[in-house]
Amino acid sequence: MRPTTEEDKLPRLIRRYVRPGRRYLKVGGALLGMNERDRAKLLRKLGRAAGEISPSELDMLLGRGWRERKTAAWLIAVAGRTEFRERLGELLLASEGPYAGEAYCVALATFGTPADADLLVAYLDRYLPSPDLSYDQTAALGALLLLDADLGTDHAARFLAQDGLWQQWIDGPPGKVRDTPDSHREFIGRLRAFADESASHCPTRRHGVAPHRR
């Protein structure tokens, strides 16, 4: 009998963690449109799944497509697995496509440290000067503003200065989301609150919270 490989395990992982109830579509902004009962049920199951999945299994999902990466990032956020910080930062900076980057930003906002803010700054430094690329600039700015408020820092100020990179980016090609920066902060803040709610159902969630959120 040949040994079980990662490729053998992957379909089972996807069936167990990514596809139940189309979880990969519901984590993220879709949570805001759900009724309270359905959202609570989803977050409860998400929390339990975050406690069951292993680091090696999360690593496998992060190596796949946007559905797997998006779901894995939420499971990482809920379980508080800060050992994945650099991996999520690398994936965010690679910006290989839409849909998953927002989840990386939520996870970094959930970790809530200066190191997470640095990763968001690196992303904005690279992609705000590229007005033709429109993936996760709004989520990254919202997460950075949230961390600035938590940490008492002001990293976002230079991006939001008059004629700064943020204004240059939204003045680029049409189709940009032109909501206010504060609205992006509030959006990521609501998603982080959902991750925190889900974490209360995660049996392996590490005790304690980030210093800025005590």
| Spans of all domains in the chain | 6-204
Average pLDDT over residues 44-61: 97
Instruction: Return the number of other C-beta atoms located less than 10 Å from residue 52's C-beta.
Output: 15
pLDDT, one tens digit per residue, over 91-115 is: 999 998 889 999 999 999 999 999 9
Specify the pLDDT at position 175: 60
- Per the listing, tokens 């009724």 go with 35
Output 186 or 205, whichever has higher pLDDT: 186
Q: Does the pLDDT value for residue 211 go beyond 50? A: no
175 token code pair:
């189709």
Instruction: Judge whether 195 and 74 are in contact, CB under 8 Å.
Output: yes
Average pLDDT over residues 14-41: 96
Three-class SS of residue 66? helix
- Residue 16: CB partners within 8 Å, gap ≥ 6? 49
Average pLDDT over residues 189-195: 98
- Residue 165: CB partners within 8 Å, gap ≥ 6? 124, 125, 128, 129, 158, 159
Specify the pLDDT at position 199: 97
d(CA 124, CA 51): 32
Specify the pLDDT at position 148: 98
Helices and strands: H and E segment counts in the chain: 12, 0
CA-nearest of 124, 51, 93 to 104 is 93
d(CA 65, CA 13): 13
Instruction: Judge whether 34 and 42 are in contact, CB under 8 Å.
Output: yes
Give the CB-side neighbour count of residue 162, counting CA atoms within 13 A. 0
CA-nearest of 94, 54, 40, 46 to 71 is 46
Q: What CATH topology corresponds to 6-204?
A: Leucine-rich Repeat Variant (1.25.10)
Q: What is the pTM of this model?
A: 0.92
d(CA 183, CA 63): 31
- Per the listing, tokens 């990482």 go with 76
Mean pLDDT check: name the lowest of 117-121, 164-168, 193-197: 164-168
Specify the pLDDT at position 172: 78
- Provide the mean pLDDT of the chain: 91
Q: pLDDT category, 173, cuts 50, 70, 90?
A: confident
Specify the pLDDT at position 136: 94
Instruction: Judge whether 149 and 115 are in contact, CB under 8 Å.
Output: no
